Structure 1
């Protein structure tokens, strides 16, 4: 009698287990089929809107948020900078310097034919932690050459190029002779990676722009680059989020004339949220 009861319990348990496993199988299969259909549909819609994006990886990768601190420059570090003089108050027991403002005693010429290369060489050799910075852009209107700090070779992007909110950035100031006369610098240090998470792929990031109606018809995705973004530049401790930086090119009519413009989008690589967009002049 007891054996019959036990056998019945086992049979019921196995039936419940089979039903559960079958449900899991079909749920997973349906989800997978839905993703294929969804991705296929989005890419078809993008093609119909004449949006080109080349070959993008659809492989997810692992990444993590990062914490970092604003570096405080010491008096010894500042005094070690040869051929330069400070344009700010020197550090003391009551005053920390997190942004260098320095002037060259003799302006440093940059060749008109190789402004970028000369600027890179200058920052790498003459600046504190200069090898950690990569060229971001040359702003001819403002007479500035802007560098962003990197982490493991990847840009730490800024929400804007405003020196008042700069973080992990170098801004070279030029005179009318194309000479560097002064600069500002801030640096992040003490990097720590927080728990790793799965990130969206390059293709996912571009598709997320399309979902949110941010990709114009007849536009071209020029580059998709991985990096980080510092969201709160006025705080001493930063949380850097992993992002995909996407540059898109399209035609725009200005004063009756068509011209090509480029726009940058910064997409959170963890949740597909778009941080910002900025037009490149």
Structure 2
């Protein structure tokens, strides 16, 4: 390896370390602002739940807070193994596929596949060969899409445009889909791999207390489930959403069996995220319609050839016109 390449690697490594340390400092600062949460005792908490008419299904909530490290990605791009699986799809006759920038896969089924609530995962496995990289999230029948989110360390990465699988459904049949995958490189995988301890996560009771204080939980609500996943906490390259990211452990709080709330498990900050807004963002960013009329799937190389041909035609026409 040339010295110039080694120097660049060292610079990037130190940049990532500096940003991580800054992020840790900011998180500790934010955590210090959670005074009421940190000092609440169990008896006062139970009294407040009763006073606010809020119940908690403790059987569906971890009795011990898991140890979940922060995680750093190296970008959003398909590996060689995934690309070879995509190439096999291209050679078949069941669907038309196109890959953009080695990071976005668009597929259109030549014969739509019927899907039900009971067999959604099984049917998606038939359509996307690497679907085991994702966790089933929801079938949004109003929008006509099925959502899967990428997994990391068997934990869901919530609402990230770099790691999702979204399938269009029309008349109960899968018609097309779009997929991206976040990549994790050796040495960059764990943000706490430098020998520091994994960050201590906020207890479920304190998360619930936080949600009550901010009036995200109201009288009559029941906290039915809580799990820990990941949510983006910082983009290492400003303005580059699909570049390297730091993912922080995040509590997913299910209320009344359907409403989902997210809370950073280190700082206690509440995350504002709506499924409909995410679907709209994906549709806008990746040019995929959610109105049962999929956008045309165009391969990069073919698109470039067509563009060049169009430019040559325009130049010819201009020349004739000028004459």
- Provide the rounded CA distance (Å) in 1 between the counterparts of 2:242 and 2:229: 20
**Is the partner of 2:67 in helix, strand or coil?**
strand
Alignment check: 8 A CA contact 1:136 1:147 kept: yes
Alpha-carbon shift at residue 128 of structure 1 (Å): 4.2
For the residues of structure 2 that align with 1:193 and 1:203, how far apart are their CA atoms? 27
Q: Which residue pairs with 2:167 in the alignment?
A: 172
Which of 72-81 and 122-131 deviates more? 72-81
| Greater Cα offset, 210-219 or 263-272 | 210-219
TM-score (norm 1): 0.69
Matching residue of 1:152: 153
How far the C-alpha of 1:228 sits from its partner, in A, is: 0.8
Aligned twin of 1:224: 226
Alpha-carbon separation, structure 2, partners of 1:152 and 1:202? 21
- Equivalent residue, structure 2, for 1:208: 210
**Paired residues for 1:47-86 under 5 Å:** 47-55=50-58, 56-57=61-62, 59-68=64-73, 69-72=75-78, 76-81=84-89, 82=92, 83-86=94-97
C-alpha contact (below 8 Å) 1:116/1:135 kept by paired residues: no
Q: Write out aligned runs for 1:57-136 (5 A).
A: 57=62, 59-68=64-73, 69-72=75-78, 76-81=84-89, 82=92, 83-86=94-97, 88=98, 90=99, 96-110=101-115, 115-136=116-137
Contact 1:134–1:149 (Cα < 8 Å) also in 2: yes
Aligned residues: 219
CA RMSD of aligned residues (A): 2.7
Q: Computing the radius of gyration over CA atoms, which structure comes out larger, 1 or 2?
A: 1
**Corresponding residue number in structure 1 for 2:298:** none
Shift in CA distance, 209/277, structure 1 to aligned 2, threshold 3 Å: farther
Distance 1:194 1:279, change over 3 A: closer
Extract unaligned runs of 5+ from structure 2.
1-36, 193-197, 277-323
C-alpha spacing 1:73/1:123, structure 2 compared with 1 (3 Å) = farther
1:194 corresponding residue in structure 2 = 191
8 Å CA contact 2:250, 2:264 repeated in 1: yes
The structure where strand makes up a greater share of residues is 1
